[in-house]
Homo-oligomer: A and B are copies of this chain.
Amino acid sequence: MATGRTHRPATRSRGIPEATVARLPLYLRALTALSERSVPTVSSEELAAAAGVNSAKLRKDFSYLGSYGTRGVGYDVEYLVYQISRELGLTQDWPVVIVGIGNLGAALAGYGGFASRGFRVAALIDADPAMTGKPVAGIPVQHSDDLEKIIAEDGVSIGVIATPAGVAQQVCDRLVAAGVTSILNFAPTVLSVPDGVDVRKVDLSIELQILAFHEQRKAGEEPGDESAPAAAAPTVPQAATRTTAESGRKGPDGDVPAVMPA
């Protein structure tokens, strides 16, 4: 369906499959950790393990970006960090506004992961006059009356919606009208937007429901294995049979330190 218009070439643009784009940030994080440890090069096998994917997929993903590796050796960490950052558009600064400063909005405002990449919280916006001026995570909250002005002045093109579901569409409309073309939506609603605007959503309860589905499966499937999985592993199930959330069994603690700001 969509609106007749191709809606958006999505992948076509310059050939990088959407699934690959979604994994680039993962690689980037693993690479950043390696970089901080001053590891000069890494093989597809190692990097894949750190990112929780398998190496064939990783190599295929990188092949869409170009030939940045060296056969028989691996990838230069610094160089790859740069290439992926560039591809993702993180070499430039992206001002972001967060609308709806409840618990979630406050958590987002204080989230280190934003600042650490090219994102900068340009403004926090809330409709509650009592919030106005109050600093959250060091940034004073502004009133939603000024939303349009703020977006225009700061040249914001990415907006985060952390409001209650009831007002999410209205907020979205105002953001879009003011010039925002990418939206990250935390409200449990389907947003409709004009063509050319990207929306991604994060929905907590949906994730839980998916887990519940699989959980139910497990319970019903093994009629013999009723011995409470708890008993299986005495204390901490060490490496041996562990598998990273993806596929390949990951080394013991080999994982990247993942210090990542809190």
Residues of A that sit less than 8 Å from B by CB: 1-3, 7-8, 10, 13-14, 18-19, 21-22, 24-26, 28-30, 50-52, 54-55, 87-90, 92, 94, 96, 102-104, 106-108, 110-111, 113-114, 116-119, 151-152, 157-158, 164-170, 173-174, 176-179, 181-185, 187-218, 221, 228-230, 232-237, 239, 241-262
Contacts and interface: CB of A to CB of B under 8 A. Distances in A.
Contacts of A106: 103, 107
B3 A243 contact: yes
Contact of A221 (B13, B247, B250, B259): B13
B258 A188 contact: yes
A100 B218 CA distance: 27
A52 to B, nearest CB: 4
Contacts of A200: 207, 210-211, 245, 248, 250
Contacts of A210: 21-22, 25, 200
Contacts of A2: 243, 246-249
Nearest to A148: B230
4 closest Cβ pairs, A-B complex: A89-B216, A179-B230, A113-B205, A103-B107
Given A54-B1, A177-B234, A204-B111, A22 B250 contact: yes
